[in-house]
Amino acid sequence: MAKDIEFSTSENKFILDALRQNLRLDGRSFDQFRDVDIKFGKEYGDVTVTMGKTKIHCRISCQIAQPYEDRPFEGLFLISTETSPMAGPQFENGNSTGEDEVLCVRIIEKAVRRSGALDVEGLCIVAGSKCWAIRADVHFLDCDGGLLDASCIAVMTALLHFKKPDITVLGDRVTVHPTDEREPVPLGILHIPICVTFSFFNPQDTEENIKGDSNAEIAIIDANLKEELLRDGTLTVTLNKNREVVQVSKAGGLPMDALSLMENCYKAYTITEKLTDQILACVKEDDSKRNQYAGLLSSENARDAT
């Protein structure tokens, strides 16, 4: 971060005291995720996710490229997350070498790319010479905490929403059909990872945290910016609806009891379920809006239900 945001000591103390009394300044309970609002742009793969005062825009684009030599059957997939001062003056333009930025980028990378959420083999056109290169550009418009969770939702929704132009392959000749000529085809999405971030606070002194058995540490879900700046530790759990842990990252910070960490994972699962359903419903709704005349124009014969 370029310039650290600082709050007054009294404000810090107020937030922490409130947390000790089971209260959060925005009125949420400790394990309440902010409401997620998903909006689509005019084109396929253009998604804006709003979560409280956090706003993230994701744009998917594709072009034909050459696959890596050691992976001739796989297409390319790149997630680009560059910061700009638009999200807040603490971000520097295009500088992603800060600790938080690196962690954020790595976790998105692990959650979406390395977990195989996108079927890269389905992007192959001609083995070894041509494949689709899919690019996800994540733009942080407004940052009020939870950038990681929101980015993950944005990328996954955009990937589900995106459609690439249809192609015909004849030997080595590849014809790309413009979208007005042939219906574009969606990408192959194998699973939908959802990130849920927990923030830990230590209400006691450090020694009690390390040696004691009280386990009185406070864990809250989906912290906002102020809570993020004050927290002692963080845990990001990425799960999908198949009850698979895709990625967990607790990179240091406040030591936490293993059992309470497990509990957090289960809490994250209920949120994952809810968000997955919401994302799928949003994509479906938008799709039916775009294709409201598809049924009328279809030349397919009605099929027997048997």
Partner 1 sequence: MSIIASTGILNHVDGSSEFESHSTKVVCSVTGPIEPKARQELPTQLALEIIVRPAKGVPNTREKLIEDKLRGVLTPLIARYLYPRRLCQITFQVMEAGEPELEFSQRELSCCINAAVLALVDSGIGLLAMASSVPLAIIKGQLVVDPNAQQLQESQSVHTLALEITESGKNVQNILLLDSTGAFTQNELFQILSQGEERCLTLVQELRKVLGDRINSEIIRTKT
Partner 2 sequence: MSRFEIYSPEGLRVDGRRWNELRRFDCSINTHSHAADGSSYLEQGNNKIITLVKGPKEPSLRSQMDPTKALLKVSVNITKFSKTERSKTSHKNERRVLEIQTALTRTFNKNVMLHIYPRTLIDIEIHVLQQDGGLVGTLINGITLALIDAGIAMFDYISGVSVGLYDTTPLLEVNSLEENVMSSVTLGVVGKTEKLSLLLVEDKIPLDRLESVLAIGIAGAHRVRELMDSELRKRAEKRVANSTN
* Residues engaged in binding partner 2 (CB under 8 A): 97, 99, 102-103, 105-106, 109-110, 114-115, 206-207, 209-211, 232-233, 235, 239, 243-259, 261-262, 265-266, 269
Q: How far is the CB of 101 from partner 2 (least distance, A)?
A: 10
- How far is CA 30 from each of CA 18, 221, 227, rounded to the nearest angstrom? 12, 6, 12
**Distance, CA of 216 to CA of 209 (rounded, Å):** 8
Q: Check residue 57 for interaction with partner 1 (CB under 8 A).
A: yes
* Residue 42 binds to partner 1 (criterion: CB under 8 A): yes
Nearest distance in Å: CB 65, partner 1:
13
Tokens of 297: 């124009």
Alpha-carbon distances of 115 from 110, 112, 195, 200, 301, rounded to whole Å? 6, 6, 13, 26, 40
State the DSSP H helix or E strand holding residue 206, giving kind and residue range, or none if neither: helix 206-211
Q: Which of 12, 32, 84, 260 binds partner 1 (CB under 8 A)?
A: 84
Phi, psi (deg, nearest 5) at residue 151: -65, -40
Secondary structure letter of residue 177 according to DSSP: P
Binding mask of the shown chain, residues 188 to 227, with x at each position contacting partner 1 by CB under 8 A: -------------------------------------x--
Give 139 or 231: the residue with its C-beta nearer to partner 1.
139
Size of the site for partner 1 (CB under 8 A): 28
Is 71 a binder of partner 1 (CB under 8 A)? no
In angstroms, what is the minimal distance from the CB of 177 to partner 2?
Answer: 36
Residue 109 binds partner 1 (CB under 8 A): no
Strand-by-strand arrangement of the 218-221 sheet: 218-221, 194-201, 233-240
When CB distances are held under 5 to 8 angstroms depending on the partner's kind, the choice from partner 1, partner 2, none that residue 206 binds is partner 2
85 contacts partner 1 (rule: CB under 8 A): yes
Is 142 a binding residue for partner 1 by CB under 8 A? The answer is yes
Beta bridge partner(s), residue 197: 236
Residues 6 or more apart in contact with residue 197 via CB below 8 angstroms: 146, 148, 149, 221, 222, 223, 234, 235, 236, 237
- State the Cα–Cα distance between residues 266 and 254, nearest whole angstrom: 20
54 vs 240, beta carbon nearer partner 1:
54
* Residue 33, token pair as written in the block: 């995720």
**What is the spatial distance between Cα 7 and Cα 227, in angstroms, rounded to a whole number?**
11
Residues near partner 1 (CB under 8 A) = 3, 41-43, 46, 53, 55, 57, 59, 61, 80, 82, 84-89, 93-94, 135, 137, 139, 141-144, 225
